């Protein structure tokens, strides 16, 4: 399955442009939230996305910084131990 993840850092920001881009990319399910990327535990929609993933699924983001704040965070998510 192809999942999308949209995130903005504050309540004043809007993630609608990200959602539209994810729809255009063919995402079947999109998780979106208005949360800081500082803490994975404070991102409930991200946690739901991670739990939904099965082997072979794809996660699409409009920019890598929507997924993680650093390459270390991205590596953590891509490792088999993260699942």
Is 83 a domain residue? no
Structural domain range at position 41 = 2-75
Is 82 a domain residue? no
Tally of domains within the chain: 1
Is 18 a domain residue? yes
Spatial CA neighbour of 67 closest among 25, 23, 22:
22
pLDDT in tens, 19-71: 999 999 999 999 999 887 665 567 899 989 999 999 999 999 999 887 766 44
**Whole-angstrom Cα distance, residue 79 to residue 83?**
8
Is 55 a domain residue? yes
Is 37 a domain residue? yes
pTM listed for this prediction: 0.78
- Positions marked active-site: 9
CA dist 39 → 9, 24, 58 (Å): 11, 28, 22
CATH number, domain of 23, equals 3.40.50.1390
Which one is predicted more confidently, 76 or 25?
A: 25
């Amino acid at each position: 399955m192809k999942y999308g993840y949209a995130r903005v850092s504050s309540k004043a920001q809007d993630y609608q442009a990200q959602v539209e881009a994810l729809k255009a990319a063919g995402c079947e399910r999109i998780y979106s939230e208005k949360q800081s990327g500082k803490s994975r535990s404070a991102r409930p929609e991200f946690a739901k996305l991670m739990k939904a993933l099965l082997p072979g699924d794809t996660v699409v983001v409009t920019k890598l910084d929507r997924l993680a704040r650093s390459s270390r965070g991205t590596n953590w998510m891509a490792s088999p131990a993260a699942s």
